[in-house]
Amino acid sequence: MRIIPAIDIINGQCVRLSKGDYNTAKIYSNDPLEVAKSFQDHGVEYLHLVDLDGAKSQGIVNHKVLETLATKTNLKIDFGGGLKTDQDLKIAFESGAKQITGGSIAVKDPQRFLSWIKSYGAHKIILGADAANEKIAISGWLETSTEDLIPYVANYMTKGISDVICTDISKDGMLEGPSIDLYEKMIRELKDIKLIASGGVAKLQDLYDLSAVGCDGAIVGKAIYEDRISLKEIEQFILNAPTC
């Protein structure tokens, strides 16, 4: 299972939210590059970079941060937040994203999202399927849609999508453990999904539990920043993680 640390950006700074609430933003670093390099130094290969400014704006905002991290580290970066137009997507890939995560756009403008899959290939596109009570949430989690999580993901999988990031918003930033039962259900019902779990990871055992149910990856954010899981422990997990 891939370990994917998260860097969420507001005003060029690394922050974390609780349950997606912008009013809870806590700044952890003014230097995203320093944070990214510390991940790389401990054997991490992947990074989940979220433009929180972009998520509630009209388009991508923090592409310069993406460009800096992509050019000054070897991390494979997936980028999300503010991707609303074809130009936004072009900027993200030109700034160094290996993949992009489409969340709100896949709900609000499915034809555009499908065109991105066709233009760039499904391997370059991650479906961001963030949920509250198994309903899809959008717009930086400021809105809840009427879409049911599993049928919604299943529909996009028929269009070629296999990589899916799912955050249970009730768990995000709360350090109370991930939604193991939800992820187990998704993996059971959605054949061939490459599920990336996000939200709630609080201790090292959570990573082993996510690996055991068959998650392809796990995004880790606040647990690292709050020293609940050390980068040394992350490094050892990467070296010793069991094969699912």
For the question of residue 130 being annotated catalytic, the response is yes
- Single out the catalytic residue among 130, 163, 168, 216: 130
Alpha helices for 63-148 (secondary structure H): 63-72, 86-94, 104-108, 110-120
The neighbouring-strand residues paired with 50 are 8, 80
* Torsion sign over Cα 20, 130, 85, 95: positive
| 15, 225 Cβ separation under 8 angstroms | no
CB neighbour list of residue 208: distance below 8 Å, 6 or more residues apart:
237, 242
**DSSP-assigned letters across all residues of 200-241:** ---SHHHHHHHHHHT-SEEEE-HHHHTTSS-HHHHHHHHHHP
End-to-end CA gap in the chain: 7
Rounded CA-CA distance 221/119 in Å is 31
Q: Give which of 43, 27, 47, 72 is closest to 231, Cα–Cα.
A: 43
Token look-up 């539990």 returns 209
- Single out the catalytic residue among 8, 78, 163, 216: 8
**Catalytic positions:** 8, 130
